Amino acid sequence: MHPAFQGLLTIAIGVSGCVGYFYFSNQFLDKVLFPARGPNAGRNINRANIIRPWLFLFPALAALGLYLAYPVVETLRLSLTDRVPGGGYTWVGLDNYIQMAREPKFWEAMRNNMFWLIIVPAMSTAFGLLVAQLTDRIRWGNIAKSLIFMPMAISFVGASVIWKLVYDTRPAEQDQIGMLNALYLFFGGSDPQTWLTIPFWNSFLLMIVLVWIQTGFAMVILSAALRGIPEETIEAAILDGANPFQIFFKIKVPQIKTTILVVWTTITITVLKVFDIVFAMTNGQWETQVLANYMYDKLFRANDWGVGSASAMVIMLLVAPILVWNVRNARKEME
């Protein structure tokens, strides 16, 4: 069957299945199980209303439970077991974690991830704030924002190709086709560099790709926050003779502190999951390994589910504080 036809068929089946489920389950509840007539009409309506929310929720809860909650438990279990050749698992306790801790590649990934975690959220938020502030009242600000926001729509893989061309290297006697080398030579560099193979610094070149993508996100959120600041506070500061920098750092930034924090944590989560960029640009060679790619390596190249799951749990552990913080904020907001 042609995949396009298959796709259309699935859309039809999936959509009508969903609609059908919701429609008929409600009909069943109201007409068959607890009909709103007869001697128990009142009680039946109440009973139906107790059950109905769960009819509405069931498919979503099933998807959430199966695809997000269950894997957390299962991955934890896998990280504490080893596969036995021929099927089955043996309990190995913390062996996988110990084995992982002995691997230099894991520590390389941890070290790089720490740099990613500090630099990408910081730079994206800083650039986002800068652009949001600068474009706020200039006439072509919306066009500028739109263009800086654009990389959000580009896939990590597409962005990797874009930046790989920027970092491209040709032998010294040839014309450079990568912008970075062309600029480097123009400003007096002696030899063209193969940027992505220079240990330590190459990680930063990969981070630039993510900063380039995430700045737009930070800008959009912070721009809205800046506009939400009450005018009076700024006018009062001007009357008191504050200069533009004081207004920005002492009046505006403190008022949008929580938004900055939200942006920061959201980007932090993206950073922890970053896989495609490293996978496509260096595949972890030349000391650019990160946790997500290390995990992929373990799971699908080394076929070691134990250590792979252990490294996934490390990612989960790093996300956990943000998870708790988010849940707490959400609950506070609802009260």
Partner 1 sequence: MSDIAGTKPALRWIVHASVLFLVVLWVVPTLGLLISSFRTSDQIATSGWWRSLFPSEQNLTLRSAAPETQVQENGIYVIEGNLFDDGTQATISKWGVSSRAVDAFEPGQTAELRKGGTIVVDAAGNYRMENPEEFTGSRGARVFVSAELPPEFTLANYHKVLLAEDSTDSMGRAFFNTLTVTIPATIIPILVAAFAAYALAWMDFPGRALLIAVVVGLLVVPLQLALIPLLKFHLNIGIGKGYLGVWMAHTGFGMPLAIYLLRNYMAGLPRDLIENARVDGATEFQIFTKLILPLSFPALASFAIFQFLWTWNDLLVAKVFLIDASGQTTVMTNRIVELLGTRGGNWEILATAAFVSIAVPLAVFFAMQKYLVRGLLAGSVK
Give the residue carrying structure tokens 């972890």. Answer: 284
Closer CB to partner 1, 178 or 203, in the complex: 178
Q: Return the range that interacts with partner 1 (CB under 8 A); candidates 88-96, 97-105, 117-125, 279-287.
A: 279-287
Site for partner 1 in 115-144 (CB under 8 A): 127, 130-131, 133-138, 141, 144
Closer CB to partner 1, 203 or 293, in the complex: 293
Counting contacts by CB under 8 A, is residue 22 touching partner 1? yes
Site for partner 1 in 81-120 (CB under 8 A): none
Closer CB to partner 1, 32 or 334, in the complex: 334
How far is the C-alpha of 303 from the C-alpha of 78, rounded, in Å? 13
Span between the terminal Cα atoms of the chain, in Å: 53
Q: In whole angstroms, how large is the CA radius of gyration of the chain?
A: 27
Counting contacts by CB under 8 A, is residue 176 touching partner 1? yes
The pair phi, psi for residue 89, each rounded to 5°, is: -135, 150
- Looking at 114, 162, 236, 302, which residue binds partner 1 (CB under 8 A)? 162
Q: Kindly state the smallest distance separating residue 296's Cβ from partner 1, in Å.
A: 8
- Looking at 70, 107, 200, 201, which residue binds partner 1 (CB under 8 A)? 70
Closest-CA residue to 214 (of 136, 175, 156, 278): 156
Closest-CA residue to 267 (of 126, 59, 96): 126
Site for partner 1 in 190-249 (CB under 8 A): 212, 215, 217, 220-221, 224, 234, 238, 244, 247
Counting contacts by CB under 8 A, is residue 174 touching partner 1? yes
The sign of the torsion formed by the CA atoms of 69, 72, 73, 78 equals: positive
How far is the C-alpha of 262 from the C-alpha of 254, rounded, in Å? 14
Closer CB to partner 1, 119 or 326, in the complex: 326
Closest-CA residue to 131 (of 143, 116, 117, 118): 143
Counting contacts by CB under 8 A, is residue 327 touching partner 1? yes
Instruction: Please state the length of the chain.
Output: 335
Counting contacts by CB under 8 A, is residue 300 touching partner 1? yes
Neighbours of 90 (CB within 10 A): 10
Angle, helix 179-186 to helix 156-166, in steps of 10 degrees: 30
Counting contacts by CB under 8 A, is residue 6 touching partner 1? yes
Counting contacts by CB under 8 A, is residue 46 touching partner 1? no
Counting contacts by CB under 8 A, is residue 312 touching partner 1? yes
